[in-house]
Amino acid sequence: MQWETVIGLEIHAQLATKSKIFSGAATLYGAEPNTQACAIDLGLPGVLPVLNQEAVKMAVKFGLAIGATVSPRSVFARKNYFYPDLPKGYQISQFDLPVVSTGETTIVVDGEVKVIGITRAHLEEDAGKSLHEDFEGHTGIDLNRAGTPLLEIVSEPDMRSAKEAVAYMKKVHALVRYLEICDGNMQEGSFRCDANVSIRPKGQEKFGTRAEIKNLNSFRFVEKAINYEVLRQIEILENGGTIVQETRLYDANKDETRSMRSKEEANDYRYFPDPDLLPLEIAADFIESIRTQLPELPDQKKLRFKAQYGLTDYDAEVLTATRELASYFEQVALLSGSDPKLCANWVMGDLAAALNKASLEIEESPVDPQRLAGLIQRIADDTISGKIAKQVFEGLWASLESADAIIYREGLRQITDTGAIEAIIDAIIAENPAQVEGYRSGKDKLFGFFVGQAMKATEGKANPAQLNELLKKKLS
């Protein structure tokens, strides 16, 4: 049977506010345990939450960026459950009236553009952390993270493969970083997701029973976990079994998902409106003032790159994937004043490969836009050939020198002096009378021999076009 995969993602993006969503405590990552938790975060008796306006602004930004409805009135609700790292015994979240609803975004997979619906995005507070490793026989509780603002972004079940799910997650990742509402740091858990995965016979409208895979914190894990889960479900159904609705965990070491709890064991969260917080009312002019502050978003930037730089769809897509990459490319193009396509090729080619090999992000690149632009200028003005440029790039990567300094020191400047090239050619002709004779009698293939000899003599620095032209003239 042909199976179709159906995936929906719930992405948790930690909002980049300075203080927590309902208290004044700092949100910085990595502080000593329990040093960034105030009376409110600890859930002491008598404390009350006060909403952080920055968090609301960020949620509105996101809503506007995905063309969603920003609700003029939304409600905070309590999600009640007991857990040691949940200090109040409930999480303040939004339930039936979220701040953002009905938006969408597009992804490109295998050259196809696809629209993914975003059901809702709501504000909530994060819980603390339970530390099971460091305390023998005990569990430590770190409440630094408790009360950190999260935007939970819930998609429609619109994705049909792990690849699409990853593309969507990357798209939302790019969006929140463009908007500067989340640092996107997946290792620190600032951006993570739960994946709802089900399968159904191709052509069937009704959804299959889904499993929810919790807490995936890398693009690679999302892809691997979904692929594993799909195969698991296919195997069950093809062997006549049924899928149980449950929450599962992905084990990256074993590359498998395993059951955490079934629907029957699920908590009854007893949601009800939080009486400590009034309904959140957002005025139309507040929304409009935020709209005017929105930065250029990936889709807009992509269109502009195509128009302004004459880039292909593919190049524009790749270069706008992150705000940092786009900015890097634009600086190179501006500083070099050279052909944007040449700049794009270098950013997406040699530079990207070197960064990838060194596991560095573009903003960590040892070669800054200024120095790469210097290299590209020398290619454009024929000072060096493309082949020599690769050698210079290695120099740029390994040092803080400029391209010009490397070219000068290493004597890599291309030979464009006609007289000098002619003298070399004359010498080769004089030394190889047999080959000259052969070529002149019609053995065209021998032309390559002369090019090779000339390049050898100039250590590859002869301008190739010029060399060809002069050789042809002298040999004729």
Tell me which residues touch another protein (CB under 8 A).
39, 42-51, 78, 80, 82, 84, 87-90, 141, 268, 270-272, 275-278
**Residue 370, CA distances (Å) to 336, 376, 396, 403, 440 in order:** 8, 10, 11, 10, 49
Element (H, E) at 112: strand 112-125
- The minimum distance between CB 249 and another protein, in angstroms, equals 19
- The minimum distance between CB 269 and another protein, in angstroms, equals 8
- The minimum distance between CB 108 and another protein, in angstroms, equals 41
Q: How many CB atoms lie within 10 A of CB 464?
A: 15
Nearer to another protein by Cβ, of 270 and 443: the residue is: 270
- The minimum distance between CB 35 and another protein, in angstroms, equals 15
Answer yes or no: are the C-beta atoms of 312 and 320 closer than 8 Å. no
Helix, strand, coil content of the chain in percent (nearest 5) = 40, 20, 35
For residue 331, which phi and psi values (nearest 5 degrees)? -65, -40
Sign of torsion over alpha carbons 369, 374, 375, 380: positive
Nearer to another protein by Cβ, of 128 and 184: the residue is: 128
- The minimum distance between CB 366 and another protein, in angstroms, equals 47
Nearer to another protein by Cβ, of 80 and 345: the residue is: 80
Nearer to another protein by Cβ, of 81 and 314: the residue is: 81
- The minimum distance between CB 90 and another protein, in angstroms, equals 6
How far apart, in Å, do the first and last CA atoms of the chain sit?
69
Nearer to another protein by Cβ, of 46 and 419: the residue is: 46
**Residue 275, CA distances (Å) to 76, 78, 136, 350, 353 in order:** 9, 9, 40, 58, 54
- The minimum distance between CB 69 and another protein, in angstroms, equals 24
**Side chain identity at 308, as an amino acid letter?**
Q
- The minimum distance between CB 139 and another protein, in angstroms, equals 8
Nearer to another protein by Cβ, of 31 and 278: the residue is: 278
The DSSP annotation for 136-183 comes to TTS-EEE-SSTT-EEEEEEE-S-B-SHHHHHHHHHHHHHHHHHTTS--
Nearer to another protein by Cβ, of 127 and 454: the residue is: 127
427/425 Cα distance (integer angstroms):
5
430/17 Cα distance (integer angstroms):
76
Nearer to another protein by Cβ, of 82 and 112: the residue is: 82
Angle formed by the axes of helices 323-336 and 369-380, nearest 10°: 40
Nearer to another protein by Cβ, of 47 and 436: the residue is: 47
Q: Is 149 left (phi over 0), alpha (psi -120 to 50) or beta?
A: beta
**Side chain identity at 52, as an amino acid letter?**
N
The DSSP annotation for 182-208 comes to ----TTTTSEEEEEEEEEEETT--S--
- The minimum distance between CB 215 and another protein, in angstroms, equals 20
Answer yes or no: are the C-beta atoms of 205 and 258 closer than 8 Å. no
Nearer to another protein by Cβ, of 29 and 271: the residue is: 271
- The minimum distance between CB 157 and another protein, in angstroms, equals 23
